[in-house]
Structure 1
Amino acid sequence: MESATRPRPHPFDAIGESVARRARGVADNVAGAIAFSWLTPNHLTLVGLILTIGVAVVIATGQLLVGGVLMIIVALFDMLDGALARVQARRSLFGAFLDSTIDRFSEAAILIGILWFEPTREMGVLTMLVLTGSLLVSYARARAEGLGIDCEVGILPRPQRVLILAAGLISGLLVPALALLAVLTHITVVQRVIHVRRTLCGAQPPSVNDTGRS
């Protein structure tokens, strides 16, 4: 049922999946090298948070190009906890919860760093729109999965959001990148709402009141 209601793939999906495959390969190799150390996946998750805060500070001081490059490096590092969990067979529900929670904090930290660097009304509106959209994208998926629905759909999941924002920082086109994120994150929210509605409507029999409608 869910496969029938899943939206068609978008160009961003192919780009993100290609990058993700290569990054996963690197992460798996590194995880294999540190698998027998004292490090755990949760340790790496917390280290990733510290690194992200460091990137936010770099951005706040105006070093946007450096911050963009570091964002990509930290995003690759962020894949290590999952890879290590697979290698060490330490997958846990708490680990997944912690990783997801830290990801939300990390997104907020980067946007706060941007707003700290350029505290204008325009930048304030853009960063708040992006933050709201990003949080709603994640919340919609979490709420749907709480209902037993796979909701990994939509044009702009987190990896693509990171790439667009990093590209904006590196290229100097930060405002256009934020504007694009503001629009596409909210489109993704709508896509997930539609996906959940279609899935639920297809899974539930019509109520007594509905059967009388023409």
Structure 2
Amino acid sequence: MLKLLRPAVTRLLTPLGRALTRRGISPNAVTAVGTLGTVAAALFFYPRGQLFAGTLVITFFVLADLLDGVMARMTGPGSTWGAFLDSTLDRVGDAGIFSGLAFWFVVSGQRVLAGVALFCLVAGAVVSYVKARAEALGMTCDVGLAERPERLVVGLVSAGLGGLGVPYVLAAGLWLLAAASAVTVGQRLLHVRRQAVSIPPRTLR
């Protein structure tokens, strides 16, 4: 569903991306600002229990993840450094979001949910690592129930609704996300294993 929505969001962001490009702002700068804003907002608002306000600010900065891609396509073929930076800072942004939620749960005495939030953080990193390592070895790994966009949507929507006082939604969202992330890790490991057993070891990069 999110992949189907991406073209529409891209069309909306194109005028802004064109304006920034004309002013000499690079996609890498947008990536860095988006990550810095995401982490700062998550660690400022979430530990204070300001979940709705924090989610609004984080969502604004998360859009930079799409905007930098739009700008990169305008300026020509994407650079290797840009792709590396974008992927690396995605992990930093995710860590900020779930760390902020974990802090809030600890402060509010919800230690089980703090553990679930940390599990989501670690599982999300493993999901991304499995794909990166598989592709480094010359295999594909574009499978899984919960990729990064889905994880962000579930996490942010749950936090935002929780901040508005909707009962149980944040806990339910995090448990769902933890389960989906664990399933995704399993799916990717099995997908890579099927490819690996059919490839002679000497051909792996």
Assess same fold via TM > 0.5. Answer: yes
Q: Deviations over 1:147-168 (max 9, x none)?
A: 1122121111101111001110
Name the residue aligned to 2:179: 183
Q: Deviations over 1:44-80 (max 9, x none)?
A: 1110112102321122221111222233322222211
In structure 1, distance between residues paired with 2:174 and 2:50: 17
Name the residue aligned to 1:52: 38
- Structure of greater Rg: 1
In structure 2, distance between residues paired with 1:18 and 1:75: 18
1:96 to 74, 78, 83: 83
- Tell me the matched-pair count: 191
In structure 1, distance between residues paired with 2:142 and 2:58: 23
Contact conserved, 1:71 with 1:162, CA < 8 A, in 2? no
Name the residue aligned to 1:42: 28
Tell me, yes or no, if structure 1 residue 118 matches structure 2 residue 108: no
Letter in 2 for 1:99: D
For 1:147-186, list aligned pairs within 5 A: 147-172=137-162, 173-186=169-182
Contact conserved, 2:99 with 2:118, CA < 8 A, in 1? no
- Residue identity (%): 34
Aligned to 1:78, what secondary structure does the other structure show? helix
Letter in 2 for 1:30: L
In structure 2, distance between residues paired with 1:179 and 1:71: 21
Range 83-92 or range 159-168, more displaced: 83-92
Name the residue aligned to 2:49: 62
Contact conserved, 1:129 with 1:182, CA < 8 A, in 2? yes
TM-score (norm 2): 0.87
Aligned to 1:39, what secondary structure does the other structure show? coil
Letter in 2 for 1:140: V
Aligned to 2:72, what secondary structure does the other structure show? helix
Q: Deviations over 1:92-145 (max 9, x none)?
A: 111111111111011111111112222032122101210111001000000011
Contact conserved, 2:49 with 2:104, CA < 8 A, in 1? yes
Q: Which has the higher contact order (CA 8 A, sep 6+)?
A: 1
Name the residue aligned to 1:139: 129
In structure 2, distance between residues paired with 1:70 and 1:202: 47
Aligned to 2:197, what secondary structure does the other structure show? helix
Range 55-64 or range 134-143, more displaced: 55-64
Contact conserved, 2:37 with 2:58, CA < 8 A, in 1? no
